[in-house]
Each structure stands twice: as C-alpha cells, then as structure tokens.
Amino acid sequence: MSHAELKEDEILGLWRSEDETVKIEIYKDEASNSLSGKIVWVEIDEEDPPPAFDVLNPDPSLREQPIVGLQCITGLVFHNRKKEWKNGQLYHPEEGKSYHLKGWLDDDKILHLRASVDSLSLLGQTFKWYGA
C-alpha cells in the first residue's frame, strides 16, 4: 500500500503491542470527530501481574477504573498531506501520565505510535503495533 492511498480510517480496529502483552482498539469518536483508543486486553503475568485498576491516575476519582476498557488514546486526527495521525494524547496508566501522540502506518501495515513529552515529538519513544 502506498502512502498516497492511505485513508483516515485505516487504523481503526484491534492492534497488539510488539511484545504481545496489550491489545488496544482504535475507534472513531463521533463526539470529538477524532480517533480514540481503549485497552481491550492485557496479558496477566502471574509472577509480576500488572495493576488491574488505574491506581496511578492523577485524578483520585478515577483510580478505581479498570485498566481493561480504559480509554488511553484521544484526539488523533488524520492529516492527509503528511499521511499521519496527529494531535492526539496518550494516557499511560503504568505511569499515570499523559503524552502527545502521533501515528503512522508503514508499508507493511505496522502502526507506529510516537508518544512524546513535547508537541514536536522530539523527546519521546515510538512503539510498534500489529494488526490483532
């Protein structure tokens, strides 16, 4: 698939993390006219289980919400000229922090999500997600 054929809804659906420990679903948020994502599955490591609830959320009223079902991506908007999704936010429940987010698909249909502390994406990390 060439980037010229890329469409806004190309990343809708289920994605699994590179280490296969998390699955997210990216969906259209009609209210904000952008794409959002939620955690739909987390692998449970019996020796070092991840938290079941969002215990590090900076908002104490949200600390009892389950990780599975948690909305972790908001505000992604497709930019046709650059063929990428930008202006999003990623909430990372293992840190209780939010980051700027942008994403793009490569020619192998691997979704790259770049979370960064700055809006220019200079200081951050890119994660690969695969169709689930």
DSSP calls for 72-104 = EEEEEEEETTTTEEEEEEEEETTTTEEEEEEEE
Residue 78's domain is classified under what CATH number? 2.40.128.520
Mean pLDDT of the chain: 92
Closest alpha carbon to 95 in 75, 77, 112, 117: 117
Domain that holds residue 42: 3-131
Please report which confidence band the pLDDT of residue 44 belongs to, taking 50, 70 and 90 as the band edges: confident
CA–CA separation, 23 and 31 (whole Å): 24
The pTM (predicted TM-score) of the whole model is 0.90
Please report which confidence band the pLDDT of residue 34 belongs to, taking 50, 70 and 90 as the band edges: very high
Number of domains in the chain: 1
Residue 3 phi/psi, 5° resolution? -65, -25
Structure tokens at 126: 């890119």
